[in-house]
Amino acid sequence: MAENVPSKSVKMPIDYADWNDYNTRVVCEIFADQVVAGNRPNTHLSNSGYDEVIEQFASKTGLRYTRLQIKNKWDKLRIEYNCWKKLKSQTGLGWDDARQTVTATAARWKQLKEDIAGCLKFRKAGLQNEELLEKMFEDIRNTGADHWSLGQGTIPSATTNGTIQIADVNEIDDETDEDEPSAKRKRGDSSKVDKLKKTKSGSQKMVEEMSKSNELSAQTLSSIQSFTKIREDPPGCSIKDVMTLVEECGAVEGTNEHFIATEIFIKKDQREMFVNSLRTPAGRFAWLKKKYDMSSESEDGSSDEEYDCDLLAMQLFETVTSNISSTRRMAESYHSLYMNKAAPRTSRLSGMGWVQETLATPGECYRMLRMNGNTFLALHDLLVDKYKLAPTVHMHTMEALAIFLYILGDGSSNQRAQNCFKHSGETISRKIEEVLFAVVELGRDIVRPKDPNFSNVHERIRKDRRMWPHFKDCIGAVDGTHILAVVPDDDKIRYIGRSKSTTQNVMAICDHDMRFTYASIGQPGSMHDTTVLFNALRTDIDIFPHPPQGKYYLVDAGYPNRPGYLAPYKGQRHFHRFERNPDYVPTIPSRFRRYVISQDASDTSTEGQSDVSMDAFRDDLAGRIAG
């Protein structure tokens, strides 16, 4: 390990960062301490966390790096850790204890190089400081296990641990970020997702009352056992045994000594004293005579044992009374909840009546259910006829579909749906799940390309002079969006992206008819768009609509420019003028004029480009448009 001796004085910020083994170890230790201290609110350290790293690193090494240099090191370490974990998870690899890294054949390493970018650096030696990097990144590492698409055979269950739910905007509390204050919040901006407002249901209250009752029962049993244990007599000290000894010492029935024995031997401590301390009959008789003489002068007061027993009996009585009271409250709650229900929804307009009224009112169906009446009826008939959406005794399938669309389209809560459709919360949840399963089956049939081979050029391309012939090989577009999500506390950090909210990074593919042909759902908000795409390509290799050779999707600058996926030049994300002027023909920016080629070039120059660099293809395409 390279040594780096700290200097006596800390240097000023420098442009070049020397990350030798010693400096890397030091910064990893400081990073790990900041994570343990709670200074990593998302996938990066907070402002105060970075400041602490800068100061501690300067104190230990004598080097004062800028925040950007420290952050770049954090990002690089995170990339290396993820790469190392992916490499170790591969099957068919060996292990070299001396070098602490995996072993593989040359052909296998060649394949790993294509599958895991940057893995060749671990061919000679394993990852350094792995134990520290695990503290820093393990709980925010995205493995792709959250991915789900319509083409997969299983549907995620709502009862699975770690289930991600779409956030109800009406149930999200505002939260400020003290560590990383952002720019001034614009009017209408949403803030960070925090905790859902939770209310206890009747069943939860019932469970709590039963738990309290069980605790009181256990306390009562313990008190009874303690009381019984205190009242138990040691061997030979029962009243019968002691009175036998009384008669044997000469205090026969009718004498003063026998009388006083019947008075004092009610108490256990007196019996123990008589049996264990007085050994001879003469001594016992004299002791009884003395007790009688003393009792004649003054009445004997109650002993401590009698007081303790009375106190314990009182406490036992209070415990039993409290237990009975708790049981009574529980019975009252049960009766109020299940036997004497109040009618919370007494409106004359039932849920089905609301649906019929909404469908009959022009424009109301679109506002409430996000589709017109004819589309609603067509969707309903399709789900019923082909996807087994069935009615029940108390609910028509039209009402079930309306509940699903009402919550999905408006972001309404379960409570609002209860008030609108006049059903319980359990019924609302159950119907949403039933319709959801039917809609997922529908999605499997329609969210896919019309022509999996993409053999024909779309009519929109042929008839648009802006597109033809430049984009004749374009088969659609790929993009992603972040959707607010409610996730378990243990997974929150992985789902916090740049928006400072917990989100899913949902990627979708759309064709020229504005039809979705694929969707990747469930990936954490901290996952980069490129990683989402590559994970979908790897996971759904059999169902992903891969572009054939010579065809491509349009992607934005968040994706790499690679074969099958055409990205714009950096800084040129969209052609906004298309929406303003339908006759506008885009021209290449002046800084890209060097890529312009001859106007007499063949129109077939864009075919078969999946075998060459997409950068060259993009330059060629830009030149054709500019020419």
Q: What digits encode the pLDDT tens for the residues 83-142?
A: 998 888 888 888 988 888 999 998 889 888 888 888 888 988 999 998 999 889 888 887
CB atoms within 10 A of CB 39: 19
Residue 213 phi, psi (nearest 5): -65, -40
Query: Does 345 have pLDDT greater than 80?
Result: no
Q: Is 518 exposed, middle or buried (0-12, 13-18, 19+ CB in 10 A)?
A: buried
Q: For position 577, what pLDDT does the model report? A: 47
Q: For position 557, what pLDDT does the model report? A: 81
What pLDDT, in 10s, does the model give residues 590-611?
Answer: 544 443 333 333 333 233 333 3
State mean pLDDT over 600-625.
54
The rounded mean pLDDT for the chain is 76
Range with lowest mean pLDDT among 297-311, 387-401, 517-531: 297-311
Range with lowest mean pLDDT among 23-32, 191-200, 255-264, 469-478: 191-200
Beta-strand (E) ranges in 207-271? Answer: none
Q: Kind and range of the H or E element at 584? A: none
What pLDDT, in 10s, does the model give residues 163-220?
Answer: 444 444 333 333 333 333 343 444 344 443 344 444 555 556 666 666 666 676 666 6
Q: Is 480 exposed, middle or buried (0-12, 13-18, 19+ CB in 10 A)?
A: buried
Q: For position 15, what pLDDT does the model report? A: 63
Q: For position 29, what pLDDT does the model report? A: 94
Higher pLDDT, 151 or 230: 151
State mean pLDDT over 343-358.
78
Q: Compute the residue count for the chain.
A: 627
Higher pLDDT, 215 or 376: 376
- The answer to whether 102 and 124 are in contact (CB under 8 A) is no
DSSP 8-class letter at 422: T
Residue 71's pLDDT band, with cuts at 50, 70 and 90, is very high
Higher pLDDT, 66 or 498: 66
Closest by Cα among 277, 284, 282, 285 to 255: 285
Task: Evaluate the CA torsion angle 481, 482, 483, 487 in order and state its sign.
Answer: positive
Closest by Cα among 451, 457, 449 to 604: 457
Q: Cα(126)–Cα(409) distance, rounded to whole angstroms? A: 50
Q: Cα(291)–Cα(271) distance, rounded to whole angstroms? A: 13
Q: For position 404, what pLDDT does the model report? A: 92
Range with lowest mean pLDDT among 110-114, 511-515, 524-528, 605-609: 605-609
Higher pLDDT, 338 or 527: 527
Q: For position 564, what pLDDT does the model report? A: 87
Q: Which two tokens stand for residue 128?
A: 């350094």
- The answer to whether 400 and 435 are in contact (CB under 8 A) is yes
> How large a percentage of the chain has pLDDT more than 70?
70
Query: Does 314 have pLDDT greater than 50?
Result: yes
> How large a percentage of the chain has pLDDT more than 90?
14
CB atoms within 10 A of CB 49: 24
For the ranges 25-39, 107-121, 271-285, 558-572, the maximum mean pLDDT occurs at: 25-39
Pairing of strands 552-554, 474-486: parallel
State mean pLDDT over 310-318.
64
- The answer to whether 22 and 74 are in contact (CB under 8 A) is no
Q: For position 543, what pLDDT does the model report? A: 85
Q: Cα(63)–Cα(588) distance, rounded to whole angstroms? A: 46
- The answer to whether 536 and 544 are in contact (CB under 8 A) is yes
- The answer to whether 442 and 493 are in contact (CB under 8 A) is no
- The answer to whether 520 and 149 are in contact (CB under 8 A) is yes
CA 549 to chain centre: 40
**Amino acid identity, residue 429?**
S
Range with lowest mean pLDDT among 201-210, 323-332, 416-425: 201-210
Q: For position 494, what pLDDT does the model report? A: 83
Strand-pair partners of 504: 483, 524
State mean pLDDT over 528-557.
86
- The answer to whether 77 and 28 are in contact (CB under 8 A) is yes
Q: For position 559, what pLDDT does the model report? A: 84
State mean pLDDT over 272-278.
78
Range with lowest mean pLDDT among 375-379, 445-449, 517-521, 598-602: 598-602
Query: Does 20 have pLDDT greater than 50?
Result: yes
Strand-pair partners of 481: 506
Residue 152's pLDDT band, with cuts at 50, 70 and 90, is low
Residue 274's pLDDT band, with cuts at 50, 70 and 90, is confident
Q: Which two tokens stand for residue 582?
A: 């339908």
For the ranges 157-166, 346-355, 359-368, the maximum mean pLDDT occurs at: 359-368
Q: Kind and range of the H or E element at 214? A: helix 202-231
- The answer to whether 607 and 473 are in contact (CB under 8 A) is yes
Q: For position 227, what pLDDT does the model report? A: 52
Q: For position 596, what pLDDT does the model report? A: 38
Q: For position 201, what pLDDT does the model report? A: 55
Higher pLDDT, 275 or 530: 530
Q: For position 337, what pLDDT does the model report? A: 65
Contacts of 247 (CB under 8 A, 6+ apart): 253, 258
Q: Cα(398)–Cα(229) distance, rounded to whole angstroms? A: 68
Task: Evaluate the CA torsion angle 233, 236, 241, 245 in order and state its sign.
Answer: negative
Higher pLDDT, 231 or 271: 271
Q: For position 169, what pLDDT does the model report? A: 39
- The answer to whether 39 and 178 are in contact (CB under 8 A) is no
Closest by Cα among 138, 71, 142 to 505: 142
- Decide: helix, strand or coil at residue 129: coil
Q: For position 230, what pLDDT does the model report? A: 52
Q: For position 292, what pLDDT does the model report? A: 81
DSSP 8-class letter at 336: I
Residue 499's pLDDT band, with cuts at 50, 70 and 90, is confident
Pairing of strands 565-566, 552-554: parallel
Q: Cα(325)–Cα(32) distance, rounded to whole angstroms? A: 53
Closest by Cα among 296, 300, 323, 302 to 224: 323
The domain locations on the chain are 21-140, 203-342, 351-446, 459-626
